[in-house]
Amino acid sequence: MNDLTVVVLAAGKGTRMKSATPKLLFDAAGRPLGTWPVGVALALHPARVVVVVGHGRDDLQQVLRTRFPHAPLAFAPQKEQLGTGHALRCALPLVPRSTRRLLVLCGDAPLVTPAPLRRLLARARGRTLAMFTSAVTDPAMYGRVLRDERGRVTRIVEHRDATPELRLVREVNPGVYVFDPAFLRNALRRLGRGNVQGEFYLTDVVELAARTANGVADLPVPFDDLRGVNNRAELAEAEATLLERIRRDWMVAGVTIRAPQTVRIEADVRLAPDVELGPGVQLLGRTTVARGTTIGAGCVLRDVAVARNAVLRPFVVATESSIGPGAQVGPFAHLRPKSTIGREAHVGNFVETKNTVMHPGAKANHLAYVGDGDIGRRTNVGAGTIFCNYDGFGKWRTVLGEDVFVGSDSQLVAPVTVGDGAYVASGSTIVEDVPPGALAVARGRQVVKPGYAKRLRARLAARKSRQHN
């Protein structure tokens, strides 16, 4: 739409969030709050999106440039917070002269979608102004929409300026407009600050538009799709709606979700058909899950790539890792960053990995820590094994070749390599490399003293008796 420019008003301080973090950088379903309306604006394919920035503007600009690196974005600083009318004044120098329709969105309204905006843009053709309106049960702090006897919109009265009688009006202004830019430029110059807050209200432009020959076109829409976020309670409500939309879209696309209301799937997650998610699953960041995978109850994955037909049993926690085709992980396993679990490898209960590669068919099924390791094909790591990878100053690597067997309760002190086909006896502490095919035993010899147990018990009992007397 080469004649369309979108302005996103994103300069507010968000004081009701009660945080040092700028409001538009708060997380909403895995994305910063301010990225949602900008993303919707870009979906309309405008010539330019002008973002009015103020509080935390450097951070917000960086976030938006990173997420939309090739988008036609421009940033207009609002150095003084003098109201929405003033914010739009700040944006006008960056609006191309070719613009015939100027769409204005609020930066803290993450629920708006492209479809109603397209209807509003169509409604705006040939009109001075087109705007959304919504009927609500509780208008709270929103501006009230006033109409004449013929039902035409005549003006907006902000809540703080409204009389008790006007506050009874239940039709409100969600703050989405499409302007004729030529009219808007002139109207903004005529705004005053004669109101309770001493600001330049953009809503005052509505009354000026209503006096023109083309007047105001309004489009009623459900308020739930347009409400803004002013505090953390409203952020939680908006996020719940976003997450519900995301879950529904994935279920329609062929994903099975058990107990959907307990499952969190963030916006940048990607799922294939025939994935099954158990209750309480959290898929975060840029996690991807391929077809046929089952993810059990309570698993938490962030930035994890899961290949086809993998099985994650309940309560797996994984971060910045990959899980290969047909692999089995869990229950209660922890994959820390840079863990690569190969095809049909097994990571069992209470096993922790970190910066570790488990090649196809490798297994660590019980109670092991295998940090900074390279575990070869079909190698078995026994229960209670520890890769001793940290010496207090640096991290070191443990390398196990193919078809290695590591007995239970062994410690491998890195850096160390165990060659293909070698055995490590249970209970060993390995501090030197083990050649391929060798057996390594590194433990004290067992000593048996016949009949000694009876004397030992007697001595211990006597000592205990003396302690109690």
3-state SS, 281-314, equals: CEEECCCEECCCCEECCCCEEECCEECCCCEECC
pLDDT tens-digit series, residues 303-362: 999 999 999 999 999 999 999 999 999 999 999 999 999 999 999 999 999 999 999 999
Which CATH number fits the domain that encloses residue 201?
3.90.550.10
Active-site positions read: 366
pLDDT tens-digit series, residues 145-173: 999 999 999 999 988 888 899 899 999 99
281 backbone dihedrals φ, ψ, rounded to 5°: -70, 145
Q: List, in sequence order, the alpha helices (H) in 16-159.
A: 35-43, 57-67, 84-91, 114-124
pLDDT tens-digit series, residues 47-82: 999 999 998 899 999 999 999 999 999 999 998 888
Residue 107 in this model has a pLDDT that exceeds 90: yes
Burial class of residue 260 in the structure, from the number of CB atoms within 10 Å of its CB (0-12 exposed, 13-18 middle, 19+ buried): middle
Dump strand ranges (E) for 215-291. 216-220, 256-257, 264-265, 270-271, 276-277, 282-284, 288-289
Whether 397 and 375 map to the same domain: the answer is yes
DSSP string, 136-178: -S--TTSPEEEE-TTS-EEEEE-GGG--TTGGG--EE--S-EE
Whether 218 and 310 map to the same domain: the answer is no
- What pLDDT does residue 195 have? 79
400 falls within a domain = yes
Whether 210 and 236 map to the same domain: the answer is no
Confidence of residue 15 (pLDDT cuts 50, 70, 90): confident
Confidence of residue 444 (pLDDT cuts 50, 70, 90): confident
Whether 197 and 310 map to the same domain: the answer is no
Q: How far apart are CA 141 and CA 137, in angstroms?
A: 12
Mean pLDDT of 381-388: 98
452 falls within a domain = no
Burial class of residue 62 in the structure, from the number of CB atoms within 10 Å of its CB (0-12 exposed, 13-18 middle, 19+ buried): exposed
Question: What is the Cα 159 distance to its own chain's centre?
Answer: 34
Q: Which residue has the higher pLDDT, 12 or 324?
A: 324
Whether 145 and 246 map to the same domain: the answer is no
469 falls within a domain = no
Confidence of residue 285 (pLDDT cuts 50, 70, 90): very high
58 falls within a domain = yes
Domain final residue, candidates 204, 225, 246: 225
User: The tokens of 304 are what?
Assistant: 């994890």
Q: How far apart are CA 287 and CA 226, in angstroms?
A: 28
455 falls within a domain = no
Which CATH number fits the domain that encloses residue 432?
2.160.10.10
438 backbone dihedrals φ, ψ, rounded to 5°: -90, 165
Percent share of the chain, pLDDT over 70: 100
Domain final residue, candidates 174, 206, 225: 225
Whether 9 and 156 map to the same domain: the answer is yes
Whether 236 and 176 map to the same domain: the answer is no
Confidence of residue 1 (pLDDT cuts 50, 70, 90): low
Residue 201 in this model has a pLDDT that exceeds 90: no
Whether 262 and 284 map to the same domain: the answer is yes
Whether 416 and 304 map to the same domain: the answer is yes
Confidence of residue 13 (pLDDT cuts 50, 70, 90): confident
Residue 418 in this model has a pLDDT that exceeds 90: yes
Determine the structural domain holding residue 110 and report its residue range. 4-225
Whether 24 and 135 map to the same domain: the answer is yes
466 falls within a domain = no
Whether 40 and 137 map to the same domain: the answer is yes
323 falls within a domain = yes
Whether 365 and 396 map to the same domain: the answer is yes
Instruction: Domain count for the chain, please give it.
Output: 2
- What pLDDT does residue 389 have? 97
Domain final residue, candidates 207, 225, 243: 225
456 falls within a domain = no
Residue 294 in this model has a pLDDT that exceeds 80: yes
Q: Which distant-in-sequence residues (6+ apart) come within 8 Å of 90 by Cβ? A: 11, 52, 76, 77, 78
Residue 194 in this model has a pLDDT that exceeds 80: no
| CB of 260 closer than 8 Å to CB of 251 | yes
Q: What share of the chain is helix, strand, coil (3-state, %, to 5)?
A: 25, 30, 50
